[in-house]
């Protein structure tokens, strides 16, 4: 029997992406698509075959097994509390539960998160699935990682665990993202005229994902510079590290291939380098390695809306509901129904 889910915040990019994946999922049934705010009338669907979005009615969550919170930052706390009270498994795609330290969270996102989030942060599992699988499987609430932290952490974590990186030197993360990472709410920087045939750095030195990456990697030696690509989806991360003494690119590749052997969604290249088009509309993270001077360069690519958001959320929900982790995520994508 299929497990029933609800998507709250169903009209945003991540909500629509969860819906796209769920429609092709053999074991999930979308029972409710709702807005994220009470009393807000949803927009009519864009196309005839799009299902209508309902007003937010929390009591309807009694009818579902799992809830995806595709809400703006600061809105997830009371929704998560209500869903958990009704016995649902919850995956939150906002940043409300990612940072363990309340002071760091407030410094990063401001004093906008309702008090309900602070208490739930203690029970939330940070769902970088390949590094938290057992914890996710037993979780009631999962904080889905951010897109940049996913692209940066998956290549770096095995190397840090094996002491292959010299942390007396900074790790440089030079990352490029499609404009969908900024969300659906219009902003001057994401207007077509500002993105088309343009390329720029943004939020240099104060991007909100930096504390999340420092927390996940266990070091503040990461220097992160994000850029906005004139494309809709995808992240390409170029990571510069100084290897520990005696470590070369071959040893780095061997470490990554050993750590991710058997992992369905991480592909470590023996030759060639990742590109956005190879991961578009998939839940894969592709990783390649090169030597440049006295540095090792790791290049990773993900679809920011899939492995960086909705796909990883479904991967986590699959585990939480006792389903095959890969269900709905390895079949060919339904491109006509995809966001962009």
0.85 surpassed by pTM: yes
Domain boundaries, position 17: 3-145+306-337
Using an 8 Å Cβ cutoff, are 228 and 202 in contact? yes
The token pair at 146 is 């951010």
Find residue 225's DSSP bridge partners.
174
| Highest-scoring range by mean pLDDT, 32-46, 103-117, 212-226 | 212-226
| Domain match, 156 and 292 both | yes
Average pLDDT over residues 214-237: 95
How many domains does the chain fold into? Answer: 2
How confident is the prediction for the chain on average, in pLDDT?
90
pLDDT at 276: 97
| Domain match, 178 and 218 both | yes
| Domain match, 298 and 310 both | no
Q: Tell me the three state secondary structure of residue 117.
A: helix
- pLDDT surpassing 80 at residue 99: yes
| Domain match, 264 and 176 both | yes
What separation in angstroms does the CA of 7 have from each of 13, 79, 80, 302? 12, 11, 12, 23
What separation in angstroms does the CA of 73 have from each of 8, 97, 105, 114, 269? 13, 10, 11, 10, 35
| Domain match, 16 and 139 both | yes
Residue 147 catalytic? yes
Q: What is the dihedral of CA 199, 201, 202, 207, to 10 degrees?
A: 130
| Domain match, 200 and 314 both | no
| Domain match, 152 and 298 both | yes
The rounded distance, in Å, linking the Cα atoms of 32 and 177 is: 31
| Domain match, 130 and 35 both | yes
Q: How many CA atoms lie within 13 A of 91 on its CB side?
A: 32
The token pair at 211 is 């504390």
Q: How many CA atoms lie within 13 A of 62 on its CB side?
A: 3
pLDDT at 22: 97
Q: Give me the phi and psi of 316, to 5 degrees please.
A: -70, -45
| Residue of 70, 88, 147, 255 marked active site | 147
CATH number of the domain that residue 18 is part of: 3.40.50.720
- pLDDT surpassing 90 at residue 328: yes
Q: Would you place residue 52 in the very low, low, confident or very high pLDDT band (cuts 50, 70, 90)?
A: confident
| Domain match, 20 and 100 both | yes
What separation in angstroms does the CA of 275 have from each of 78, 157, 191, 217? 39, 21, 25, 24
Q: Tell me the three state secondary structure of residue 160.
A: helix
| Domain match, 194 and 62 both | no
| Domain match, 262 and 327 both | no
127 or 199, higher pLDDT? 127
- pLDDT surpassing 90 at residue 97: yes
Q: Tell me the three state secondary structure of residue 50.
A: coil
The Cα diameter of the chain in Å comes to 62
Average pLDDT over residues 53-61: 92
pLDDT at 38: 66
pLDDT at 115: 53
Q: 249-302, pLDDT tens digit by residue? A: 999 999 999 999 999 999 999 999 999 999 999 999 999 999 999 999 999 999
Q: What is the dihedral of CA 197, 203, 209, 215, to 10 degrees?
A: 140
Interior angle at CA 315, CA 311 and CA 316, nearest 5 = 120
| Domain match, 277 and 310 both | no
- pLDDT surpassing 90 at residue 245: yes
Q: Would you place residue 49 in the very low, low, confident or very high pLDDT band (cuts 50, 70, 90)?
A: low
Average pLDDT over residues 74-85: 94
Q: 123-161, pLDDT tens digit by residue? A: 999 999 999 999 999 999 999 999 999 999 999 999 999
CATH number of the domain that residue 203 is part of: 3.30.360.10
């Amino acid at each position: 029997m299929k497990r029933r889910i609800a998507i709250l915040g169903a009209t945003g990019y991540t909500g629509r992406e969860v819906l796209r994946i769920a429609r092709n999922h053999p074991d999930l049934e979308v029972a409710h698509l709702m807005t994220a705010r009470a009393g807000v009338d949803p927009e009519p669907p864009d196309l005839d075959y799009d299902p209508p979005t309902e007003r937010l009615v929390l009591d309807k969550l009694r009818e579902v097994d799992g809830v995806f919170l595709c809400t703006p930052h600061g809105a997830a706390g009371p929704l998560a509390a209500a869903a958990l009270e009704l016995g649902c498994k919850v995956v939150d795609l906002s940043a409300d539960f990612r940072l363990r330290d309340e002071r760091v969270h407030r410094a990063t996102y401001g004093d906008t998160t309702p008090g309900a989030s602070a208490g739930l942060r203690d029970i939330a599992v940070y769902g970088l699935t390949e590094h938290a699988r057992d914890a996710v499987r037993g979780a009631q609430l999962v904080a889905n990682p951010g897109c940049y932290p996913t692209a940066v952490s998956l290549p770096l974590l095995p190397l840090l665990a094996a002491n292959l990186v010299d942390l007396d030197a900074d790790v440089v993360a030079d990352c490029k993202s499609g404009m969908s990472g900024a969300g659906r709410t219009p902003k001057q920087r994401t207007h077509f005229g500002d993105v088309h045939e343009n390329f720029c750095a943004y939020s240099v030195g104060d991007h909100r994902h930096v504390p999340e990456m420092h927390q996940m990697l266990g070091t503040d030696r990461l220097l992160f510079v994000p850029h906005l690509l004139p494309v809709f989806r995808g992240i390409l991360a170029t990571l510069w590290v100084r290897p520990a003494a005696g470590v070369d690119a071959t040893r780095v590749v061997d470490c990554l291939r050993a750590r991710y052997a058997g992992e369905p969604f991480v592909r470590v290249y023996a030759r060639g380098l990742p590109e956005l088009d190879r991961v578009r509309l998939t839940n894969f993270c592709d990783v390649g390695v090169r030597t440049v001077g006295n540095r090792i360069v790791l290049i990773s690519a993900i679809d920011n809306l899939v492995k960086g958001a909705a796909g990883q959320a479904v991967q986590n929900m699959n585990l939480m509901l006792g389903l095959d982790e890969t269900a709905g995520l390895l079949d060919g994508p339904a491109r006509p129904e995809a966001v962009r």
